[in-house]
Amino acid sequence: MHDIELNGLTKSFGDLLAVDDVSALARSGEVTALLGPNGAGKTTTLRMLLGLVAPSSGAATLGGRRYAELSDPVCQVGAVLEASGYHPGRTALDHLRILTTAAGLPRDAPSRVLAETELAADARRRVGEFSLGMRQRLGLASAMLGDPGVLVLDEPTNGLDPPGVRWLRGYVRRLADEGRTVLLSSHALSEVELIADHVLVLAHGRLLRSSSLAALRAEAGVGSMVRTPHQDRLCAALDAADLPYRRTDEGLAVDATPEQVGELAGQHGIVLHGLVGTADLEQAFFRLIQESDPVEHPLVAEGVSS
């Protein structure tokens, strides 16, 4: 199985710098999530990896070789880049037969992947009649035709209903557990946090963070959401204890564990109407992205210029 390596990958479209000097590694046997908001450069990065877009500089390799240099690429890399990659007038079976024929794969490959993706009963239906979830499955079936060691998925959960997302998670996790390299992109951490081992956070074309999900979770810490009729008194206590907080519509969002907040309230005799722990991972993700956004910090920009 191959590792995926991005080395100083850069792509400009005219004046627009879509991907800026991205270097990262996705290891075999792991699910690596490429995370970032829309327009972060995720798709362009994946397309450069797959030889569909030429990098302005840098290189993307699979097992040390560029995609175009791979012999039998379909047997080494499977990719799902868009849910619309099908002729609507073609049956699912014909779609897979075409890919199988072009790649010189065994004739039984389509039936194998259709069974794996639970589409066997719909093999002779035209893809135009498929739901988005079925198209995503067909995309995965196409990607798995050559039984590749590397899987590249662009926003695979887009448009899937909850059972579809659950199925996809299980399928992708199983592929990684078999030792394959899985690189998938998403704009929402919540969609991948149950399956990803490693995260690459991308915003404005730049790689902001490359770390294991466990490390990101530890770094993000745990917060609390507090409701109290004595908000000003609790704020004063939090200030005195040097615990950061934000006033929100739901109450006070405190950067501390529920135990810390509960004990502090008890010490000051403050009645609480609600105290829940909040997993701060998603907020940490957004904070990371917002901190990289120059538009969000005009004062910083002014300070620099002055």
Partner 1 sequence: MKALLHAEILKLLSTRTTAGLLLATLGLVALSVVANVPKVGDGEAPFSLDDPGLLAYVVAICFGVPPVLVVLYGTLAFTQEFRYGTITSTYLGEPRRSRVLVAKWLALFLASAVVTTATLALSVPFSSALIRSRDGDVTFAGHFWGVVAIGFVVLAAYGVIGVAIGALVRNQVAAVVGVIVWMTAIEFTVIPSFPDVGRWMPLGATSSLFQIGPSLGLDGNLLSVPVAGLVLLAYTAAAVALALHITPKRDVL
Comparing CB distances to partner 1, the nearer of 29 and 85 is 85
Helix (H, G, I), strand (E, B) or coil at 58: strand
| Count of residues that interact with partner 1, criterion CB under 8 A | 33
| Residue 102 found at the interface with partner 1 (CB under 8 A) | yes
| Residue 270 near partner 1 by CB under 8 A | no
What is the per-residue DSSP string for 245-295? EEEETTEEEESS-HHHHHHHHHHTT---SEEEEEE-HHHHHHHHHHHT-GG
CB 233 → partner 1: shortest distance, Å?
57
* Chosen residue from 86, 130, 167, 285 binding partner 1 by CB under 8 A: 86
- Report the nearest approach of partner 1 to the CB of residue 261 (Å): 49
* Cα separation, 236 vs 279, whole angstroms: 24
Single out the residue of 78, 22, 74 nearest to residue 45, CA to CA: 22
Q: How far apart are CA 92 and CA 114, in angstroms?
A: 9
* Shortest CB 241 distance to partner 1, Å: 52
Q: Smallest distance from the beta carbon of 131 to partner 1, in angstroms? A: 17
- How far, in Å, are 45, 243, 250, 267, 278 from residue 236 at the CA level? 48, 10, 19, 13, 22
Distance between CA 124 and CA 121 in Å, rounded?
Answer: 8
Could you say whether residue 76 binds partner 1 (CB under 8 A)? no
Q: How many Å apart are CA 223 and CA 283, to the nearest integer?
A: 10
113-152 residues in contact with partner 1 (CB under 8 A) are 142
> What residue type is assigned to position 4 of the chain?
I
With binding defined as CB under 8 A, does residue 182 bind partner 1? Answer: no
**Shortest Cβ 62–partner 1 spacing (Å):** 12
| Position among 9, 31, 62, 81 found at the interface with partner 1 (CB under 8 A) | 81
Instruction: Map the footprint of partner 1 across residues 40-69, applying CB under 8 A.
Output: 44, 47, 50-54, 67-68
Q: Which of the ranges 97-105, 112-120, 194-202, 257-265 carries the binding residues for partner 1, by CB under 8 A?
A: 97-105
How many degrees, rounded to 5, is the angle at CA 251 between CA 248 and CA 255? 80
Query: Pick from 14, 64, 89, 163: which binds partner 1 (CB under 8 A)?
Result: 89
Spatial separation of the C-alpha atoms in residues 60 and 48, rounded to whole Å: 7
Q: Applying CB under 8 A, does 4 fall inside the site for partner 1?
A: no
Contacting residues toward partner 1, per CB under 8 A: 44, 47, 50-54, 67-68, 70, 73-74, 77, 79, 81-82, 84-91, 94, 97-99, 101-104, 142
